[in-house]
Structures are given as C-alpha cells and as structure tokens.
C-alpha cells in the first residue's frame, strides 16, 4: 500500500483489495466508535486494543511506513525516468487482480452485472474527468479532505488524483510545506470524517450485499486500467506547487501513436514483460493465500 500511494493514480486501497486485507481494514477503521471511547474512559486499555484490531493496524502502518521510506526514492525515480514500464507493471498487476477477484462474485445475476458495469463506468468517468475547482475557503478544504479519503480507500481510485481533479492538490502540498496549521487541521478533520463515514458504509455493503459489492469494487479495478495504461496523450495540465506543469487529464493511445506524439520509444517488449511480472505477482499471492486474495481478511 505504501508503494502504491507513492504513485499518483494508483490507490493504496487497490493493494489492500488485491492482498485480501480489505474487509479487515474496513472493520478496523469502523471500530473507532463510541464503544472504543467507553473502553478508554474506563481505562480498559487491553480491551480497547483488541476492539480496534490494533495489532493488525500497527503492522499495516509499519509496513506502509517502511515501504514509503525504503521505496519512495526508487518509485519516484522510476516515475521520473522510466514511467512507461512502471505504469505497465501496475497495469498487469491490476488487470490480473481484477480477473482473479471476479471469482469472488459467485453466480452472476443481473444485479451483480449492473454493479460491475457501474463500477467500471464510475472509474472511467473519474479517469477522463477534466479538473474542476472547489473554490476557496475552509469549507472547500474540509470537503476536499472528505472526498479524497473516500477515494483513497476505494480500490482503483487514487485520493491524490481526486485532489488534482478538485484543484486542491497544489494547495494541500503547499500547506504541508509551509505548515499552515489551520489548513492542515481542517483538511485532516474532513479526511477523518470521510474515513469514519465511508468505511462504515462499505463495511455494511460488504456484510449485507457481499457479492454485488465485490462486483462493484472489481468494476472500479477494471475502470482504473485507463489511469495506469502506459501510453497516454495529455489533454490538460495543472501547475504544481513547485511551479512545474503536471498532466491532469490524459487519454490512452496505442504505442505507435505515443511514439508519434512524444517522440519517445514506447518500449513495447519491456512493457509486456513487466506487465506479465505484475500478473505473476498476483498469481503468486493467489496461490499462497487460497482461491483468491480477497478471501483472506
């Protein structure tokens, strides 16, 4: 999850979904509730630790932090120097994951097919959306945090990409760099509120409508393939906090057209090889943890 969150356009939620910890992660987030507060007020710390599945969360957060610290420079370098093969790796990873996770849906019904198509449509619409502005003010900052964190825990949808679309990516980075405490506090409050609300909704849907929700989430994965397609044509740009122009709206193209547009080698054979490597990683996970990674929670 830490390695995925470094790459704009790739969701840490995707990695949680692929590796089968998604249900358990939602349940752990959901457990930060009034029951936890009562346990803490009664000084029942051992019960509170167990209530929130703290051992799982600590291990997960340590893994994310370790990955970010150890892989941040490598992934950033690959994103800067070899972006096309890196995107190809994630394409193979996500495509294979979506195909494997289709098995979790079970018997296909009209409802589950609609859910799958809805997930694909929503992810495609987000991937192709132009940038929009929320406007100024702390209300916009709060809603940006609320919406971005909801996207971050959804597989296939990147929270940082949502911030770009909302026109809040550069302001958030600038606030973090300048330590604008009011901005950071309002944004964090929005993110915490979104996390608490949305995790409960997703957990409820997975409990009551598991197969249809799995179809919806798998649809998000299929739709997100447009974001990680290695060869793209940039339609619009946005100025980042460092003054550099960053692509915000991109459309997939074939390798030959990419060569004509950019003048760069599409590295087709290398991309196929690393995409297969990503698919192999999913196959190994699937083989190690059973019929499907999503069964393990």
The backbone torsions φ and ψ at residue 240, rounded to the nearest 5 degrees and listed phi first, read -80, 175
pTM, two decimal places: 0.71
pLDDT tens digits, 107-135: 889 999 999 999 899 888 877 776 566 66
pLDDT tens digits, 190-223: 988 988 888 888 888 888 888 888 899 888 888 8
pLDDT tens digits, 133-166: 666 678 888 988 888 888 777 776 767 767 767 7
The backbone torsions φ and ψ at residue 239, rounded to the nearest 5 degrees and listed phi first, read -85, 125
Direct distance between the N- and C-terminal alpha carbons of the chain, in angstroms, rounded to an integer: 15
C-alpha to C-alpha distance for 233 and 258, rounded to whole angstroms? 7
Contact of 67 with 2, CB cutoff 8 Å: yes
């Amino acid at each position: 999850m830490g390695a995925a969150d470094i790459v704009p356009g790739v969701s840490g939620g995707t990695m949680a979904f692929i590796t089968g910890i998604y249900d358990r992660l939602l349940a752990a987030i959901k457990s930060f509730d009034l029951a936890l507060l009562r346990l803490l007020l009664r000084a029942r710390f051992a019960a509170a630790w167990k209530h929130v599945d703290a051992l799982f969360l600590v291990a997960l957060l340590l893994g994310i932090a370790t990955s970010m610290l150890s892989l941040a420079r490598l992934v950033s370098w690959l994103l800067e120097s070899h972006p096309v093969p890196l995107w190809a790796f994630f394409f193979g990873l996500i495509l294979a994951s979506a195909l494997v996770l289709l098995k979790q849906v079970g018997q296909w019904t009209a409802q589950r097919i609609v859910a799958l198509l809805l997930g694909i449509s929503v992810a495609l619409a987000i991937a192709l959306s132009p940038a929009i502005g929320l406007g100024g003010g702390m209300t916009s900052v709060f809603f940006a945090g609320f919406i971005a964190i909801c996207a971050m825990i959804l597989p296939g949808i990147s929270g940082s990409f949502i911030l770009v679309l909302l026109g809040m990516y550069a302001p958030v980075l600038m606030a973090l760099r300048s330590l604008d405490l009011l901005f950071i506090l309002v944004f964090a409050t929005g993110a915490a509120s979104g996390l608490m609300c949305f995790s409960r909704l997703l957990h409820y849907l997975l409990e009551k409508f598991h197969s249809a929700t799995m179809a919806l989430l798998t649809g998000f994965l299929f739709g997100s393939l447009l974001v990680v397609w290695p060869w793209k044509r940039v339609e619009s740009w946005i100025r980042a906090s460092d003054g550099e122009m960053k692509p915000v709206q991109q459309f997939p193209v074939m390798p030959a057209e990419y060569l004509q547009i950019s003048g760069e080698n599409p590295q087709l054979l290398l991309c196929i090889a690393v995409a297969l490597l990503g698919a192999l990683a999913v196959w190994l996970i699937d083989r190690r943890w059973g019929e499907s990674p999503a069964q393990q929670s």
